[in-house]
Amino acid sequence: MPNIVWKDRKRTLFGLPWSFTKYSLSDDRLFISTGFLSTKEDEVRLYRIMDISLKRTLGQRIFGLGTIKCCSADKTLGDFEIKNIKKSKDVKELLSEMVENERNRKKVTSREFIDHEDSEFDDGHDDM
């Protein structure tokens, strides 16, 4: 069982946790569980997260919520959002720090995620 560092639910009206979407963060993975009768569980390894941003609408700020957008190199999950969570700024900072630590621990650089076609050598000459 992974060591869970943080967990929360997607919040709805008035910031109440009336949702079947659950988020949890372990030392090396982020888990997203959705559904009630039919459930789906996704996970992304932290070193695969490339970029993190925080968005807070006026309504979210009123109820102390925010949405974290993650750009990831994960084939299954791709880019995803951690929607309407409490203490979103603190969670974003925690996630960012943990991603960086995991990338350093695994000695991963962003160069490893560049698509081969995008990284071909360009000699500056147009082939027309």
Domains and CATH numbers, the chain: 4-106 (2.30.29)
Q: What is the pLDDT of residue 16?
A: 87
- Are the C-beta atoms of 68 and 92 separated by less than 8 Å? yes
Question: Residues of the chain whose pLDDT is less than 50?
Answer: 116-128
pTM for this model (two decimals) = 0.81
Q: What is the per-residue pLDDT for 121? A: 42
